[in-house]
């Protein structure tokens, strides 16, 4: 087995300066563990990636506290508009499965707060929302994002990662 610590300082994601981060990586023959405290601890992630079938559990636990979602824009090909937006998210994840197929995924994703703004257009999460996974079956409690000229409602019952059965109702200013 091997343990490595990586300290990240004075770096950029897209055009944004990133607060200091620490990544701890533990590797053995069955799995790789990542225990990360990113962006001055605004994003904490514990992630286990199984390397051999039936020898380790997949784990994705995280806490995000007023994490700047615009850091993710370059990762989805939107780096060129990163500076036009402001946005924060707070919540946590607690997910596990016996392997990477995630067929028996258990746990939840809890979003306490979220907002995204571009110019005068914005959306806010109206109340906390939660996606619950039980043996691979997912349920999403009403997720409602609202702002002037924007309303996005997403919910779903008894769906899975192979068959997303979500109801989405959206009326949105596409400039956002």
Q: What is the pLDDT of residue 18?
A: 83
DSSP line for 51-76? SSTTSS-EEEEEEEEEEEGGGGGGGG
The predicted-structure confidence for 78-117, as pLDDT tens digits, reads as follows: 888 888 999 999 999 999 999 999 999 999 999 999 999 9
Query: Cα(115)–Cα(130) distance, rounded to whole angstroms?
Result: 16
pLDDT below 70 — which residues of the chain?
A: 176
Query: Cα(88)–Cα(74) distance, rounded to whole angstroms?
Result: 16
The pTM score is 0.89
Q: What is the pLDDT of residue 145?
A: 96
Q: What is the pLDDT of residue 41?
A: 83
- 107 three-state secondary structure: strand
Q: What is the pLDDT of residue 68?
A: 92
Query: Cα(59)–Cα(45) distance, rounded to whole angstroms?
Result: 10
């Amino acid at each position: 087995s091997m343990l490595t610590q990586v300290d990240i300082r004075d770096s950029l994601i897209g055009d944004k300066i990133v607060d200091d981060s620490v990544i701890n990586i533990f590797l053995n023959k069955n799995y790789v563990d990542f225990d990360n405290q990113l962006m001055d601890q605004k994003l904490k992630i514990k992630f286990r990636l199984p390397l051999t079938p039936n020898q380790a559990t997949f784990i994705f636990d995280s806490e995000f506290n007023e994490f700047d979602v615009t850091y993710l824009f370059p990762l989805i090909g939107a780096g060129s508009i990163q500076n036009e937006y402001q946005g924060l998210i707070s919540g946590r994840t607690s997910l596990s499965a016996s392997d990477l197929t995630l067929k028996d995924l258990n746990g939840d994703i809890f979003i306490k707060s979220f907002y995204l703004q571009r110019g005068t257009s914005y959306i806010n999460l109206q109340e906390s929302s939660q996606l619950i996974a039980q043996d691979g079956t997912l349920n999403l409690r009403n997720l409602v994002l609202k702002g002037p000229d924007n309303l996005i409602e997403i919910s779903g019952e008894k769906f899975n990662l192979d068959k997303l059965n979500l109801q989405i109702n959206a009326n949105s200013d596409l400039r956002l």
